[in-house]
């Protein structure tokens, strides 16, 4: 017989020997379970020890409160049993029958011995009584020891839960930051500055990170929170249940940060969906500010967020700022002043006393504020409207001021205006320009497109990089440019020999791009720093200090880079962080900055002071304001060339100066104006 036949025979014999029917054999004790496919229950053999152990395990799994309650019941049961036994046996505590305590007295005595084992030392009486007290005392030692262990374990577990950051935040009128990247530190710092003159403003951060790690990083980077409470919680911003941990129902503003993943916009859109489509959401609209990196995703984000979300197109904003700044030395400092809460910012204010007056007249109505535009009741924003525009009853003024509570109309007569010093000089047409771009990242194509809207026809732009990714993009860009001729040099932009061959002095604008697409932030900034050092050495050698604008990846490296004395440093993440914070404080500011950064409409320009007022003689700031008004421009400040290398003096940039202040300008100084291109 083969092995397979022998196996089948054994199986058949086993089946024949198996009892059949309900009474074929005794049923083994145990739990019964339903058989598959609706058959009879299956008997599972278990002993009473197994069932007891299972019940005990279930009880212990219920947590600290259940264990404490269980110990209490066990102690009570022990005390009652011992008391009843002592009374039933007639055990005496003293020499007479009257010394026998009642049941309640015995329970109290047992409780005292349970809590303090030393109490038994003074006991006297019969052997039965002393034995009963000994049993209670031993039980008390066990109970108290277990209780201490349970309480200690419960407290430790609770601390561990708190460290996980899963408890719900109970706050109101607070700012919520959903997500985590390097921008969070700048945003928190700016929010702390914005909340400095207000009470009860807190910040809640919800991110898919360890709470303790977030707390430690924030404390390490932000030493002084100036009374603002910062609460961190761990949770996924795209989870409907977990975003409620941050208390978004009572928030005044929500900032959505893009995570450091391959497709950050998808996560941002999912987070917006979680906020706006929460079935338990509040009836009032949210104020959400979110960043979108790819312009192709803007429309989808708008459909999801509708009127509740203000979107910041990171790529477009940064490209526009870089394009504008590389043509005007010092413009990045101006934008930094307007976006940073540490200096002067843009505010909206209703001034009924100015109703019916023209915009041009109202420019002289403030001493410590600068009027730059109007906001209509429909929510429209008009920067630098014609001076003859009449201020309506429902219009709000758009002003640059130190704070919202620092906006006041002038008391008394306006400062004197020196008409003899005003020089009304129409700006000369833009001449052809040569721009040199050293380095490469994904924003270079957009920067070139933005530059094309500003420069005169016949201008040139030269891109120098050894990044192989640039080749295909630049070929497509060549056909898109209308005013610039594109030249491409496929060499390393940090190589000194290459820079010497380029004749850098022949370019009006030199732009050093951070290679963040190929390297991490620190290595990218290191290569940028090397390029800047070479450029500054070339400028010193030829005696021609050409304008240099550099993009940095990490704001902490700016101090190191300042040794190169470049005119402007653009830190993309910091600018976007400042913009997110400003819009979170006032959603209408998104329209204001969109107008400022756009090539259409009015933008910020730094123009020679000699085109406005006479140099070499003292003039009031009000005189500069009047000179700009006659050209249908708004003067918002000035830049002193001799202070351009002094960080303590904001590199010579003075935004929103007092109108009565007197300044003596040199021909190298600039007037900062808001004007149509």
In this prediction, residue 598 carries a pLDDT of 84
Contacts of 483 (CB under 8 A, 6+ apart): 452, 453, 455, 456, 457, 458, 459
Comparison of pLDDT for 169 and 612, the residue scoring more: 612
**Token pair in block for residue 181:** 């990247």
In a domain, 61, yes or no: yes
**Token pair in block for residue 111:** 């409780």
In this prediction, residue 38 carries a pLDDT of 52
Q: Which of 298-312, 430-444, 479-493, 540-554 has the lowest mean pLDDT?
A: 540-554
CB 486 within 8 A of CB 447: no
What is the CATH number for 111?
1.10.287
Helix/strand/coil for 370: strand
In a domain, 448, yes or no: no
Q: What's the rounded mean pLDDT across residues 513-538?
A: 90
Helix/strand/coil for 310: strand
Distance, CA of 358 to CA of 392 (rounded, Å): 9
In a domain, 439, yes or no: no
Distance, CA of 465 to CA of 596 (rounded, Å): 30
In a domain, 87, yes or no: yes
pLDDT of 570 over the 60 cut: yes
Helix/strand/coil for 644: coil
To the nearest 10°, the Cα dihedral for 460, 461, 466, 470?
Answer: -110
Q: Could you tell me what percent of the chain has a pLDDT over 70?
A: 86
Same domain, 139 and 204: no
- For the segment 251-307, what is each residue's pLDDT rounded down to a tens digit? 999 999 999 888 899 999 999 999 998 888 889 999 999 999 988 899 999 999 988
Angle between helices 444-452 and 314-327 (to 10 degrees): 60
In this prediction, residue 644 carries a pLDDT of 82
Task: Single out the residue of 305, 621, 313, 326 nearest to residue 450, CA to CA.
Answer: 326
Task: Single out the residue of 565, 558, 433, 548 nearest to residue 493, CA to CA.
Answer: 548
What is the CATH number for 246?
3.40.50
- For the segment 330-339, what is each residue's pLDDT rounded down to a tens digit? 898 899 889 9
Q: Which of 51-65, 476-490, 643-657 has the lowest mean pLDDT?
A: 51-65
Task: Single out the residue of 254, 246, 293 nearest to residue 276, CA to CA.
Answer: 254
Same domain, 144 and 218: no
CB 454 within 8 A of CB 461: no
Same domain, 106 and 137: yes
Same domain, 219 and 133: no
In this prediction, residue 68 carries a pLDDT of 75
Same domain, 69 and 95: yes
- For the segment 11-46, what is each residue's pLDDT rounded down to a tens digit? 444 444 444 444 444 444 444 444 544 555 565 667
Measured at the CA of 384, the angle between CA 550 and CA 548, to 5 degrees, comes to 15
Same domain, 179 and 160: no
C-alpha distance from residue 662 to each of 31, 617, 618, 657, 675 (Å): 97, 10, 6, 10, 23
Q: Which of 7-11, 153-157, 539-543 has the lowest mean pLDDT?
A: 7-11
Helix/strand/coil for 16: helix
Same domain, 159 and 186: no
In this prediction, residue 22 carries a pLDDT of 42
By residue range, what is the domain housing residue 74? 56-164
In a domain, 105, yes or no: yes
In a domain, 223, yes or no: yes
* Widest CA span in the chain: 127
Contacts of 478 (CB under 8 A, 6+ apart): 486
Same domain, 134 and 72: yes
By CB atoms closer than 10 A (0-12, 13-18, 19+), residue 96 is: exposed
In a domain, 585, yes or no: no
In this prediction, residue 612 carries a pLDDT of 94
Same domain, 235 and 253: yes
CB 461 within 8 A of CB 487: yes
The domain boundary, picked from 237, 253, 286, lies at 286
Contacts of 106 (CB under 8 A, 6+ apart): 79, 82, 83, 86, 87
C-alpha distance from residue 32 to each of 42, 43, 50, 428 (Å): 5, 4, 15, 97
**Token pair in block for residue 76:** 């009570």
pLDDT band at 120 (very low <50, low <70, confident <90, very high): low
Q: For 209, which DSSP code?
A: S
In this prediction, residue 11 carries a pLDDT of 44
Which element (helix H / strand E) includes 591? helix 589-597
C-alpha distance from residue 150 to each of 68, 163, 169, 248, 573 (Å): 7, 20, 28, 36, 49
Per DSSP, the residues of 229-296 read -EEEEE--TT-HHHHGGGTGGGEEEEEEPPPSSS-HHHHHHHHHHHHHT-TT--SSPP-EEEEES-GG
Same domain, 123 and 141: yes
Count how many domains the chain has: 2
Q: What's the rounded mean pLDDT across residues 668-673?
A: 94
The domain boundary, picked from 269, 286, 303, lies at 286
In a domain, 330, yes or no: no
The domain boundary, picked from 164, 195, 211, lies at 164
By CB atoms closer than 10 A (0-12, 13-18, 19+), residue 303 is: exposed
Tell me the chain's radius of gyration from C-alpha atoms. Answer: 39
Same domain, 139 and 216: no
Q: Could you tell me what percent of the chain has a pLDDT over 90?
A: 43
Comparison of pLDDT for 625 and 153, the residue scoring more: 625
Highest mean pLDDT among 80-89, 128-137, 185-194: 185-194
Same domain, 146 and 184: no
In this prediction, residue 564 carries a pLDDT of 62
C-alpha distance from residue 537 to each of 439, 500, 505, 527, 569 (Å): 18, 11, 12, 16, 18
């Amino acid at each position: 017989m083969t092995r397979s036949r022998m196996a089948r025979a054994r199986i058949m014999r086993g089946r024949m020997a198996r009892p059949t029917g309900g009474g074929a054999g005794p049923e083994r004790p145990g739990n019964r379970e339903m058989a598959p496919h609706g058959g009879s229950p299956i008997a599972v053999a278990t002993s009473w020890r197994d069932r007891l152990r299972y019940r005990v395990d279930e009880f212990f799994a219920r947590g600290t409160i259940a264990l404490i309650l269980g110990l209490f019941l066990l102690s009570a049961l022990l005390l009652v049993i011992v008391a009843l036994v002592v009374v039933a046996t007639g055990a005496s505590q003293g020499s007479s029958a009257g010394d026998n305590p009642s049941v309640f007295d015995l329970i109290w005595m047992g409780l005292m011995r349970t809590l303090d084992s030393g109490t038994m030392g003074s006991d006297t009486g019969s052997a039965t009584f002393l034995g009963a007290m000994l049993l209670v005392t031993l039980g008390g030692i066990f109970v108290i020891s277990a209780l201490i262990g349970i309480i200690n374990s419960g407290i430790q577990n609770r601390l561990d839960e708190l460290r996980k950051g899963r408890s719900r935040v109970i706050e109101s009128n607070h700012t919520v930051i959903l997500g985590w990247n390097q921008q969070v530190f700048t945003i928190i710092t700016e929010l702390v500055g914005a909340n400095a003159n207000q009470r009860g403003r807190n910040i809640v951060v919800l991110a898919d990170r360890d709470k303790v790690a977030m707390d430690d990083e924030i404390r390490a980077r932000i030493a002084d929170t100036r009374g603002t409470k910062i609460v961190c919680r761990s949770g996924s911003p795209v989870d409907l249940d977990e975003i409620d941990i941050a208390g978004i129902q009572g928030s005044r503003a929500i900032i959505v940060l893009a995570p450091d993943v391959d497709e950050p916009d998808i996560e941002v859109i999912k987070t917006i969906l979680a906020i706006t489509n929460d079935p338990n959401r509040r009836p009032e609209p949210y104020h959400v500010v979110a960043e979108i990196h790819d312009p192709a995703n803007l429309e989808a984000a708008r459909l999801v967020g509708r009127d509740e979300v203000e979107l910041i197109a990171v790529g477009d904003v940064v490209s526009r700022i870089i394009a504008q700044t590389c043509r005007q030395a010092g413009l990045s400092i101006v934008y930094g002043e307007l976006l940073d809460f540490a200096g002067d910012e843009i505010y909206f204010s209703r001034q009924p006393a100015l109703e019916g007056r023209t915009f041009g007249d109202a420019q002289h109505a403030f001493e410590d504020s600068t009027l730059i535009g109007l906001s209509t009741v429909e929510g429209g924003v008009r920067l630098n409207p014609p001076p003859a525009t009449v201020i309506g009853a429902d219009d709000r003024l758009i002003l640059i001021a130190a704070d919202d509570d620092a906006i006041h109309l002038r008391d008394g007569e306006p400062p004197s205006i020196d008409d003899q010093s005003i020089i009304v000089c129409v700006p000369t047409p833009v001449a052809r320009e040569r721009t040199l771009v050293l380095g490469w990242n994904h924003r270079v194509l957009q920067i070139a497109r933005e530059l094309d809207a500003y420069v005169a026809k016949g201008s040139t732009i030269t891109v120098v990089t050894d990044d192989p990714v640039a080749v295909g993009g630049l070929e497509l860009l060549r056909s898109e440019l209308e005013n610039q001729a594109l030249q491409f040099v496929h060499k390393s932009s940090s190589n000194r020999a290459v820079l010497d061959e380029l004749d850098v002095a022949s370019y009006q604008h030199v732009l050093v791009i951070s290679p963040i697409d190929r390297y991490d932030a620190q290595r990218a900034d290191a290569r940028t720093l090397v390029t800047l050092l070479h450029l500054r050495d070339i400028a010193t050698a030829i005696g021609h200090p050409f304008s240099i604008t550099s993009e940095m990846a990490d704001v902490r490296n700016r101090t190191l880079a300042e040794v190169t004395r470049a005119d402007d440093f653009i830190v993309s993440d910091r600018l976007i962080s400042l913009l997110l914070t400003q819009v979170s404080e006032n959603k209408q500011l998104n329209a204001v900055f969109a107008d400022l950064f756009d090539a259409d409409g009015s933008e910020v320009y730094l123009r020679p002071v000699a085109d406005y007022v006479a140099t070499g003689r003292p003039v009031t700031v009000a005189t500069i304001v009047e000179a700009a008004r006659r050209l249908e421009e708004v003067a918002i400040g000035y830049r002193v060339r001799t202070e351009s290398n002094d960080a303590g003096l904001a590199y010579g940039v003075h935004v929103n100066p007092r109108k009565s202040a007197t300044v003596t300008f040199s021909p190298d100084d600039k007037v900062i104006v808001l004007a149509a291109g």
